Each structure stands twice: as C-alpha cells, then as structure tokens.
C-alpha cells in the first residue's frame, strides 16, 4: 500500500470512533429525555392497550439502554432511518430531498467567503498596521459580530422591501426554463449566500491575515526576495501557498458554526433545506426526523474534518504520513 | 523602622494591563458603550415606568415618537420598556452561560493539564469530540427533549433560563479547556512550580496558588468572547421561536415577533437587532483589547 493510502486509512480509522462517540452523545440525550415517544398513543383512547403493548414490544421501548442503542445504530447504518410522523414518508427520502439545497447554499457561501478572505487577508498582512489593515480588521470584527438573523432581516428590508430587487422567499419549483430558470435561481440565492458568506468571510479574513503574517517573516521568503524575484511572485507563489495550508484546517473546524448559520438562513429565507426541516420537525414533535437531521449534521462535520485532514496531508509534505 | 521609600511610579501587573488596554482605542470606546448600555438596562426601568405588557390597540405598530421612543409592536406594547426588560435577560444569560463554560472548561483543562497518564489524552479526546458536535442542532435537540420537564420543575421562566444557560455553557467549554490545558502543560514544568512541589505543596495548592493565576490571561479573554457568543446563541434560539416564551421579550424574541412585519414596521426589528449587534461588537472589541493588555510578552 502506498504511503498516502495508509495515511487515508489511518484518518478514516480515527474518524470512526468520533462518529460513534457523537452517536452515543446523541442517543444518551434522547434516552435521558423524560417522556415517552409513545406518550401520544397512550393518551389516545381509540388505541386499545394491547395494541400499545404490542407496539412497545415491537419497538423494544422497555429494553435496556445499551441494547436500544445498538439496535438504533445498526438501523441507522443500514439506512433504515424511520418514518416521519408529520410528512408521512421515510426519513431518508425526506432528508435526501432536502440535502442538495443546504449543500448548495453552504458551498456557495464558503466559496464567497474564500473569495473575500484570501485577497483581503493577504493584502492586509503584506501591509500590517496600515490604513487598509486597520479598516479591514475593524470590518471583520463588525462582520462576525453581526448575527446572521439580523443581517438576513436587514438585507430583506433593503433589497426586497425598499428596493424590490430580490425575492425574499426561496422557491424550489421555479416555473421557467433555460436561462430564465438559472437567472431566477440566482436572484433568490443571492441574499442567503451573501448573509452566510459575509459571516464566514469575516472570521476567515482574520485567519488568513495571521497565517500570512506567520509565514512572511520566515527566512525562505527573504531568500526569495534576495534572489531578485518580484514582490508579486514572492507573495503569490512563495508566501500564500504555504500560508493557506493551516487555513484549510480552519475552514473545516468552522463547519459546526456554518451549520448553525445555515439553519438560521434557511429559516429566514424559507429555503427547503435540512436546517428548516429540523425546525419544522421540532415544531411538529417529529422525533425520528429530528434525530436523523442532527445525526446528518454531525456526520457532515466529521466528513469535512476528514477531508481537511486528507488535504492537509497532501498539501503539506512536512506532515508525517506514516 | 523606616518605611521603605515609595517608588516614583507605581507598578503592578493590573496597572500595566490597564495601561496597555487604554492604547486600544476601539476597545476603550466599546467599554464605554457597554457600560452605558448595562447602566441603562439596570436603571432606566426606574425612570421609564411603562409596563412591558401594557396593550394599547389604538397605538399599534407606531413609529418612534416622544410617547414611545422606540415605537410600539402589533399589540401597541411599548418597545423601549420591552427592550430594557429583554436586555436584562440577554445579559444575564450571557454572563451565566459564560460562568458555566468557564467552570467546566477550567476544571477539565486543569485535570487534563496536570495528569501525566491516560486521563489527559482521554479528556482531550472528549474535548475534540464535543468540538465536532454541531452546536446549534444539538442545542435545538436538547431544548426539544427537555423543554417540558424543566418547565414543570422550575416554572416557565426559570426552566427556560436554566436550560438555555446550561446548554449554551455546556457546549462552549471546549476552547477554554484546551487553552487551560496548554497553559498548564508549560507552567507545571516551570521552576517556581517545581519549588512549590519541592516544599511539599499538594497538587491542589500547586494549581490554585501557583499555576492557575499565571494561566488567567488567555482565560479572561476567552471568557469575554464567550459572553458575546452566549448572547448570540440565546438570541438565535429565541429568533427561531424555540427560546424564551413570548411573554419574556428578550431581544431575539422581539426580532422573531417583528420579522413578519418588516414592510410595515421596520423599526420594530431594527432596534432589538441593533442592540444585539452593538452589545456583541463591543464585547468582542473589549476581548481584543484584553488580549493585547493581558499578554505581557507583547511589546507595545
């Protein structure tokens, strides 16, 4: 097996216990919670007690916690995620329907954030304590102190209510074809992506700035300058390439916060993603959906951490792969 | 006995920190703004004696005027009074959640930092596990599951308050734990700790008297930032309609009620939103100033 392959395998083996750990935490929360998932059936007079007992038997409510956990996790792994009480379809179908919208918004926001953070952060770091640096770092503070729900409402107020340029409700079914479809899709996605992208970009700008500042003082940069390379080449080819390696990890570590922001954004703009699904499931007491969505969020976090680890090993040859 | 000659210029670590803090102009301005907001939240209700649930249908959704400086909501309730009340809750949640996070984080970090065997790595694995939990979905899950039980135990207001504080604090201790551990790992090998150990100081005494005071700087900074994060978390929950009930108008809750009337009554959303933003921004700037102030290695 190649060195890279072994590294991949090792990372994968580290990811599995943390995934299991997360599932234990989730299940413990569920098991500790007071109340009975069949409480509603118990008070419903039209369901006879023997049917209720049979249901309890079937779902194994009265078994010890450890056995219930093993049964739950095997069912989750086999793709049997239960049945949504509210939507009357299987939970996995429901989540698969909703997931693309969420991933699209998060992905585009991430791209937007990088497009802001890398140029601004690098430029600020090459001129530390200049006017540009001071303004950009103040704006970065403003950016991550603005809660996403308030930015969202502000954008709606300005661009939908006052100017009437953009729609503030996200629609999955746009009745148009060809370019018009793309255009409508773009128009409705602008505000949610901006809200999330600015929030992410603000904190990322600070990371990029400090990462570049760390690298720019190193001796090899002085060497590159001494060789007579232009400042542009030094910055782009020598400094930024190395400075961005830790940023990759930070992007992955931000993932849990991104999902928080995505839930809020989806709720404000009524995007049919898994974030708004979680909220509506909570309001409808739809336990299987709530558990599954939380678990999917946790899996996505672990998955992105894994990707970051792999990228890190690939980008930085100083990491021992063995 | 002769009194020792007093030094011409007084010097203490705290005075030095204050001198450094003053250099950060934005942090000083933020501190002034924050103190002003806290004072008005605490004392303005003594002057502005309008009830938060005084319903007046003849004055629905009015824009700011002398009678209602921040306008009114859809039931004609005075927004200034509601925001002053909500501000107390938001700040109380922020501070209490910070205390929870700080306590848990310091204990776990200290134990992990002092242990020389398997306890440290195990606790750090747990910390990393909690760091990769998606906080907001988990927060929502816990609230969904425990809402009713806590309401029964502590009453509708107290139950929600206890739950939100414990859950927010319980999901934010990890950065503190990592900071404390990192500080402990280097401090515990320093000569002054070794001297204390040689004199027979117990582990607890080593930690409380010698190590912890020296690790305090970064912890204070993290605590400041945590207050801001907790305020945002509470407002987010209330904004999603899953935090405090409607009769407790926290800033996030007022925003939640206002969001469907953006076209008719924008002031209703703008005031609480601006209040959250201003509070969080000033706390973050103060944290930045403290970072400069409490790091003695920094040359200014």
CA distance B146 to A28: 13
Judge whether B226 and B101 are in contact, CB under 8 Å. yes
CB contact under 8 A, A157 and B266: yes
CA distance B225 to B98: 9
- Those residues whose C-beta lies under 8 Å from the C-beta of residue B174, and which sit 6 or more positions away, are B105, B127, B130, B131
Nearest C-alpha in A relative to B263: A161
- Those residues whose C-beta lies under 8 Å from the C-beta of residue A177, and which sit 6 or more positions away, are none
CB contact under 8 A, A161 and B266: yes
- The CA angle A99-A101-A107, to the nearest 5 degrees, is 95
Q: Measured over all CA atoms, what is the biggest interatomic distance in chain A, rounded to whole angstroms?
A: 87
Residue A232 CA from chain centroid, whole number: 34
Beta bridge pairs of residue A90: A83
- Those residues whose C-beta lies under 8 Å from the C-beta of residue B44, and which sit 6 or more positions away, are B84
CA distance A114 to B287: 25
State the count of interchain CB pairs (< 8 A) between A and B: 134
CB contact under 8 A, A150 and B26: no
Q: What's the predicted TM-score (pTM) here?
A: 0.84
CB contact under 8 A, B146 and A34: yes
SS3 A37: coil
Q: What's the half-sphere exposure (Cβ side, CA atoms, 13 Å) at B39?
A: 6
CA distance B226 to B221: 9
Instruction: Name the minimum distance, in Å, from the CA of A318 to any CA of chain B.
Output: 23
SS3 A117: helix
Residue in A18, A141, A263 closest to B136 by CB? A263
Judge whether B250 and B272 are in contact, CB under 8 Å. no
Contacts of B239 in chain A (CB under 8 A): 149, 264
Judge whether B196 and B206 are in contact, CB under 8 Å. yes
Beta bridge pairs of residue A83: A90
- Say if A33 is an interface residue toward chain B (CB within 8 Å): yes
* pLDDT by residue, tens only, chain B of 300 residues: 455 555 556 667 778 788 888 888 888 888 898 898 888 888 877 777 776 666 666 666 667 776 666 676 766 677 777 888 888 888 898 999 999 999 999 999 999 888 888 888 888 888 888 887 888 888 888 887 887 777 777 776 777 788 888 888 888 888 889 888 888 888 888 888 889 888 988 888 888 888 888 888 888 888 888 898 889 888 888 888 887 877 788 888 888 888 777 777 777 778 888 888 899 999 988 888 888 787 755 544
Closest CA to A264 of B39, B104, B143, B140: B140
Judge whether A141 and A185 are in contact, CB under 8 Å. no
């Amino acid at each position: 097996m190649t060195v890279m392959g072994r590294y991949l395998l090792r990372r994968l083996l580290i990811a599995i216990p943390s995934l299991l750990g997360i599932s234990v935490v989730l299940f413990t929360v569920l098991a500790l919670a007071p109340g009975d998932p069949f409480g509603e059936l118990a008070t419903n007079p039209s369901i006879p007690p023997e049917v209720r007992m049979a249901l309890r038997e079937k779902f194994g409510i009265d078994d010890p916690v450890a056995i219930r956990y093993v049964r739950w996790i095997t069912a989750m792994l086999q793709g049997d995620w239960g049945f949504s009480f509210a939507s009357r379809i299987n939970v996995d179908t429901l989540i698969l329907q909703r997931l693309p919208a969420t991933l699209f918004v998060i992905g585009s926001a991430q791209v937007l954030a990088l497009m802001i953070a890398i140029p601004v952060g690098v430029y600020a770091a090459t001129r530390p304590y200049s006017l540009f640096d001071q303004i950009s770092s103040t704006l970065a503070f403003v950016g991550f102190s603005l809660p996403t729900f308030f930015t969202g409402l502000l954008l709606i107020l300005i661009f939908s209510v006052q100017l009437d340029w953009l729609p503030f409700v996200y629609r999955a079914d746009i009745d148009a074809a060809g370019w018009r479809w793309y255009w409508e899709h773009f128009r409705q996605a602008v505000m949610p992506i901006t809200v999330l992208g600015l929030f992410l970009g603000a904190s990322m700008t600070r990371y990029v700035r400090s990462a570049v500042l760390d690298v720019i003082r190193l001796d090899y940069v002085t060497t590159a300058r001494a060789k007579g390379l232009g400042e542009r080449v030094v910055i782009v080819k020598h400094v930024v390439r190395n400075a961005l390696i830790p940023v990759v990890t930070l992007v992955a570590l931000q993932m849990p916060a991104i999902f928080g922001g995505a839930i809020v954004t989806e709720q404000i703009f009524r995007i049919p993603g898994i974030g708004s699904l979680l909220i509506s499931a909570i309001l409808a007491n739809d336990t299987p959906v709530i558990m599954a969505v939380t678990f999917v969020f946790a899996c996505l976090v672990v998955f992105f951490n894994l990707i970051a680890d792999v990228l890190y090993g690939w980008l930085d040859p100083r990491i021992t792969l063995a | 006995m002769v009194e020792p000659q007093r030094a011409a210029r007084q010097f203490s670590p705290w005075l030095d920190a204050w001198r450094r803090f003053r250099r950060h102009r934005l942090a000083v301005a933020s501190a002034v703004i924050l103190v002003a907001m806290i004072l008005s939240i605490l004392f303005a209700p003594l002057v502005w004696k309008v009830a938060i649930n005084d319903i007046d249908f003849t004055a629905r959704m009015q824009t700011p005027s002398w009678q209602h400086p921040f306008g009114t909501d859809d039931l004609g309730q005075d927004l200034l009074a509601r925001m002053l009340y909500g501000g107390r809750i938001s700040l109380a949640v922020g501070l209490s959640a910070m205390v929870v996070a700080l306590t848990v984080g310091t204990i776990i970090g200290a134990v992990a930092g002092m242990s020389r065997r398997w306890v440290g790595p195990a606790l750090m694995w747990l910390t990393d596990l909690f760091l990769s939990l998606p906080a907001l979905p988990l927060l929502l899950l816990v609230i969904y599951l425990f809402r009713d039980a806590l309401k029964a135990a502590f009453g509708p207001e107290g139950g929600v308050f206890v739950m939100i504080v414990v859950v927010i604090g319980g999901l934010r201790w990890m950065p503190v734990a990592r900071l404390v551990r990192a500080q402990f790992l280097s401090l515990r090998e320093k000569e002054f700790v070794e001297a204390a150990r040689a004199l027979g100081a117990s582990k607890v005494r080593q930690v409380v008297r010698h190590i912890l005071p020296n690790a305090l700087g970064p912890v204070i900074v993290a605590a400041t930032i945590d207050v801001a994060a907790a305020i945002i978390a509470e407002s987010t929950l209330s904004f999603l309609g899953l935090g405090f009930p409607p009769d407790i108008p926290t800033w996030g809750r007022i925003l939640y009620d206002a969001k469907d009337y953006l076209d008719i009554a924008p002031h209703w959303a703008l005031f609480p939103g601006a209040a959250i933003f201003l509070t969080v921004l000033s706390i973050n700037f103060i944290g930045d100033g403290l970072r400069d102030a409490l790091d003695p290695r920094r040359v200014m």
